[in-house]
Amino acid sequence: MTGSAQTPAIELRGLVKRFGGKTVLDGMDLTAMAGDSVAVIGASGCGKSVSFKCALGLLPMDAGSVRFAGTPRDELPSSGSQALMRRSGVLFQGNALFDSLPIWENVAFALFHTGPMRRAEAYELAITKLAEVGLDERAANLYPPELSGGMQKRAAIARAVAADPEFLFFDEPTSGLDPVTAATIDRLIEDCVTRLRATTVTITHDLASVRKIANRVAMLHGGRIVWEGPVSELDRSGSAHVEQFVRGRTDGSSTGGPPP
């Protein structure tokens, strides 16, 4: 990794994103230092997934800058976004597995992109990565629609971390899962963060998950980060938006509701 200890690993500055006349992001700033695990929280529809796609260059933005280890995304060697995708592991909301490929090949997909690899070698590696998330060889040879939601999520996480990325992006890794499976996924993410020492940004509605996997938390509201701080200060943030989010998650009411 390039950059000094003071250079943020991931830095979003003044992100603006509009769809037609509607402004979704209105000057969003977010900083993650190397090895940080930042949770981005906020009500449904506030622009969390959009910010994630803008950061990765999957959606064009109207203004702002994105830097990885101090380098503007567009100046990363060999065509910005592509190079970035090689150094990043991404879990999309809804998993985004290829339904026409068996699970092992979904995982191997990331490995093929890191350099030439024989199919047999990719298979073995994919099996190892899947075992790390608790999926056996039988599951590895099934197709995504044949797996339960929790198993698909595990497979998508295995794919995200397969190439030992420097940057990890998880969009709602535990949504729609029962509490036990969600806790397993949290442990997996925690393990990835510690083992790979990857700088991680996780978008989540799940307060239990925030407390387990993140060291810092950022609250998105009205297109901007309205509070940012260590996870230990989540319960004394002094931010009405954060308090509402925490209260909503704790007493079962909602500040926007989980996504489908």
Ligand X SMILES: Nc1ncnc2c1ncn2[C@@H]1O[C@H](COP(=O)(O)OP(=O)(O)OP(=O)(O)O)[C@@H](O)[C@H]1O
Chain positions contacting ligand X, by CB under 6 A: 19, 24, 42, 44-50, 93, 259
> Closest separation between CB of residue 24 and ligand X, Å?
4
Please answer whether residues 65 and 55 qualify as being in contact, where contact means their C-beta atoms are separated by less than 8 angstroms. Answer: no
> Closest separation between CB of residue 149 and ligand X, Å?
16
Amino acid at 73: R
Q: Is 95 in the site for Mg ion (CB under 5 A)?
A: no
> Closest separation between CB of residue 204 and ligand X, Å?
9
Residue 8: name the closest of 73, 85, 86, 94 by CA.
73
> Closest separation between CB of residue 220 and ligand X, Å?
7
C-alpha–C-alpha distance, residues 191 and 157, integer Å? 12
C-alpha–C-alpha distance, residues 154 and 133, integer Å? 6
Measured from the CB atom, the residue of 35 and 256 that comes closer to ligand X is 256
Q: Which residue has the tokens 């387990």?
A: 212
Q: Is 202 in the site for Mg ion (CB under 5 A)?
A: no
> Cβ-closest residue to ligand X?
49
Measured from the CB atom, the residue of 93 and 254 that comes closer to Mg ion is 93
95 interacts with, out of ligand X, Mg ion, none, CB within 5 to 8 A per kind: none
125 interacts with, out of ligand X, Mg ion, none, CB within 5 to 8 A per kind: none
> Closest separation between CB of residue 259 and ligand X, Å?
4
Measured from the CB atom, the residue of 139 and 157 that comes closer to Mg ion is 157
C-alpha–C-alpha distance, residues 170 and 35, integer Å? 15
C-alpha–C-alpha distance, residues 121 and 76, integer Å? 29
Measured from the CB atom, the residue of 46 and 107 that comes closer to Mg ion is 46
Q: Is 49 in the site for Mg ion (CB under 5 A)?
A: yes
Phi, psi of 47 (to 5 degrees): 115, 15
C-alpha–C-alpha distance, residues 153 and 27, integer Å? 32
User: How far are the Cα atoms of 15, 19, 122 from residue 65, in angstroms, in the given order?
Assistant: 7, 18, 36
Beta bridge partners of 68: 10, 71
Measured from the CB atom, the residue of 42 and 102 that comes closer to ligand X is 42
Measured from the CB atom, the residue of 45 and 134 that comes closer to ligand X is 45
The binding site for Mg ion (CB under 5 A) comprises 48-49, 93
